[in-house]
Chains A and B, each alone.
Chain A
């Protein structure tokens, strides 16, 4: 294994160009905190972008921030917080879940994996806020997409295609994000004692109300017990978050409490506990520690199908909770082809998708870590891959075998 960690874009382009010339596969990484997600890559050489770091533009009045891919996310979060702003999609730090170093992840990694937190349900995913990027394709060519403006439909939207492509199309070198003002304050309604079905019904009611709910999750009793601020309820909890100016948060909290009264008496957590709770949900902390023989899945379905996924996960002896109004299930269970089949079949039956987020490498290499695509689309995917990476050297096999 050799490792390259160039500090500028031209060197990255050169490294990729050379790898292409020699047809040598490359494992693209930032600080390598997410290598455990999806399939393992067979590559002799690691190309790390961790040294290509730094914020290159921040214009709070234009809601725009640009940073190189290797910039630690925490650094960016601190910078924008200083101007009263935030990264909209609230990306998680899954280091604990994945057994990696917390606080190390880079902006490039979060974008390449399109990881979003609880606010995704109402404010969009990372992919929705990548306004521009620079990247080096598999031919070693530097390409730009999008721009440094908030609205742009000039040509094909490569920002969206590259976001979440797990480095299989190009090495993203610099990213321009839309940022937004952080809310003045936040609060969370807690409805204890609802089963998954009733809990998701309550979340649907809240999300369908005109009160600007910004996140909605449901945790079974055992998972709630793992979050300090929720342990006292000693019950499953449906969580509804409001973020806004103080008068709005107070007003909407009361309106929601009244609206949801058929689901029982809601307790309202104020700012500090609310932040702690959603940070835990964001990072999938309620799943608890994941052992070496366990796997972790992320399943996205229509919200009303969430409880069905919970039932399947619990039937497998796994642990599970729901974010995104019921539409995102975090599951941990025994790492085996059987559990994988059961979970993915449930996801497919519900019309949804899955990501195998953690599992022993051998297992990851032998499974559909995301759903297989129908044949005509898989053929297009192969041609698109070739359009970026003609020698198939960038993160080969990271998402699908042979891609």
Chain B
């Protein structure tokens, strides 16, 4: 288990009073406090780490969020925001003395504006829920994390979620226009709006990906885009990771930016095929899913260019999807990859580093060596266009020793990512999982700089404490030096 800060004795002692205070602020059923009912809130998508919270609050409005935060601030109570609880980095892991603020009840779409191409939604709306709401008019919301069915936009904002299509469309930060936030003091602030660019500091950019360290998001204005005329995927299978990596380079330098460019290694191909039956080539060492968009003729043109490039790399097979159903099946395998690994292994850790794309073959080779020395299997999925690597380390949680090896293996992979010029996380966030690895990427000065920004928003460090920043210092934040 991960180290968590000692609970504040004062908070634990005041538990009953805090719960009564919260109950007074929220509608009936808005506060969960019985031990048994708190248990399912003890973890999120990273179930290896668990901690039952003090209480769970389920507000339904921005005003209720503000009143809960004001109350927690006045009483020095720590707060952990939570949406769908799909974080793979433990972003919603509670603390024993924290109130979990669940935003799942704030799940309404407030406005859709096609002329200005935006939607205003509450944080509990699922990622796919936005696209579903505007699909009828031919629009979509671009970032598409694999968990898009379940993950909520509030969590996407806080983790700056990406997805398979962000090579072309960007990540969450590139697709937002505005936020409504509540500060720990309970102040409601509107950031941005329906226009582009901030005049003054880019608060929108800072808050996006801030992992609940700075404020709680209660409303999000997203850009919606017109869907392309069509999209089609192709599969290209290769004899080695090196060859597939070289092919990716060749595609990018030819001037083509496919809308998605996904890489899977042999174990990943097998796991996903067993789940999706998409016709993945089981004899390949590496496979690319390449997707292009446009009219049929445009797709044909681009796919022909890409096929010609792939053909130079001695592919085992090249298969262009012939229908929307075939493309959907191809993506079903990729998007279900994490869970699909759950079919071949009782548990897995999903890592999320980024590397310079050119280093892929080298990095995969070294991950393979680590896999042998740790005695744990690993499947690799890679957003090849943007260097985001997802090694899925398989282990057995009922065997504590296996879990410890998996943790160490994962840490080694992320350190390797940093060593080759990459970083610890591309789209899952630091959360609690990579917190203590931050020193591998940042100097003490740099971490202090980030901590001081947190302090500017949250002077008492009540918001999502013990995440993002290495533990020891997080509880003794460096205060801004004399201003």
Contacts and interface: CB of A to CB of B under 8 A. Distances in A.
Interface of A: 59-64, 83-84, 114, 116, 120-121, 124-125, 127-128, 137, 139, 141-161, 163-165, 169, 180-182, 184, 201, 204, 207-212, 245, 247-248, 251, 300-304, 324, 327-328, 351-355, 370-371, 373-374, 376-377, 380-388, 390-392, 399-400
B43 interface: no
B193 A352 contact: yes
Interface centre among B195, B226, B256, B295 (most CB of A within 10 A): B195
A59 B116 CA distance: 36
B430 A155 contact: yes
B357 A62 contact: yes
Contacts of B195: 300-302, 327, 351-353
Interface string B394-416: 00000000000000000000000
A208 B224 CA distance: 9
Contact of A304 (B116, B193, B480, B482): B116
Give the dominant DSSP class at B's interface: loop
B167 to A, nearest CB: 8
Given A210-B138, A210-B227, A251-B297, A154 B423 contact: yes
A370 B199 contact: yes
A44 to B, nearest CB: 21
Contacts of A62: 252, 356-358, 387
B21 to A, nearest CB: 23
Interface stretch (B55-63, B313-321, B372-380, B443-451): B443-451
Given A152-B426, A304-B116, A351-B193, 4 more contacts: A149-B426, A163-B202, A165-B202, A399-B200
Interface in B411-428: 421-428
A83 B255 CA distance: 9
A243 B210 CA distance: 35
Q: Which 4 A-B pairs have the closest CB atoms?
A: A160-B205, A383-B456, A387-B452, A386-B483
Interface stretch (B96-104, B170-178, B267-275, B277-285): B170-178
B76 to A, nearest CB: 19
Interface residues of B, number: 100
Contacts of B255: 84, 181-182, 184
B455 A153 contact: no
Contact of B166 (A64, A137, A151, A211): A151
A400 B226 contact: no
Interface stretch (B29-37, B45-53, B181-189, B338-346): B181-189
A210 B256 contact: no
A241 to B, nearest CB: 16
Interface string B347-378: 00000001111100000000000000000000
Contacts of B383: 151
Contacts of A352: 193-195
B465 to A, nearest CB: 15
Given A64-B356, A210-B229, A149 B196 contact: no
A37 to B, nearest CB: 11
B468 interface: yes
Contact of A151 (B210, B294, B354, B358): B354
B430 A154 contact: yes
Contact of A303 (B116, B302, B421, B442): B116
A392 B481 CA distance: 11
A153 B209 contact: yes
B228 interface: yes
Interface of B: 113-118, 138-139, 159-160, 162, 166-167, 170-171, 173-174, 183, 185, 187, 189-191, 193-206, 208-210, 213-214, 226-229, 249, 252-253, 255-257, 294-295, 297-298, 301-302, 354-358, 383, 385-388, 421-430, 434, 438, 441-443, 445-447, 449-450, 452-457, 468-469, 480-483
Given A151-B162, A156-B450, A376-B189, A300 B196 contact: yes
A383 B115 contact: no
Interface centre among B213, B387, B430 (most CB of A within 10 A): B387
A43 B233 CA distance: 57
A77 B464 CA distance: 43
A161 B173 CA distance: 12
B301 A154 contact: no
Given A156-B450, A157-B209, A390-B480, A164 B202 contact: yes
A384 B456 contact: yes
A372 to B, nearest CB: 9
A112 to B, nearest CB: 12
B422 A149 contact: yes
Interface centre among B208, B209, B429 (most CB of A within 10 A): B209
A302 B221 CA distance: 12
Contact of B428 (A116, A142, A153, A156): A153
A120 B195 CA distance: 12
A390 B421 CA distance: 31
A122 to B, nearest CB: 9
Nearest to B441: A154
Nearest to B454: A156
Interface centre among A355, A370, A386 (most CB of B within 10 A): A386
A383 B480 contact: yes
Contacts of A387: 449, 452-453, 455-456, 480
Contact of B298 (A116, A127, A145, A247): A247
A148 B189 CA distance: 33
B438 A144 contact: no
B245 to A, nearest CB: 10
A212 to B, nearest CB: 7
A327 B208 CA distance: 23
A154 B204 CA distance: 17
B197 A114 contact: yes
Nearest to A163: B202
17 contacts: A143-B446, A151-B388, A154-B438, A154-B442, A155-B430, A156-B453, A157-B209, A160-B206, A245-B302, A302-B118, A303-B115, A327-B116, A383-B455, A383-B456, A383-B457, A387-B456, A388-B452
Interface centre among B428, B438, B442 (most CB of A within 10 A): B442
B425 A128 contact: no
B438 A302 contact: no
A376 B430 CA distance: 28
Contacts of A146: 423
Nearest to B214: A156
B201 A165 contact: yes
Nearest to A388: B449
Nearest to A207: B117
Contact of A149 (B214, B423, B481): B423
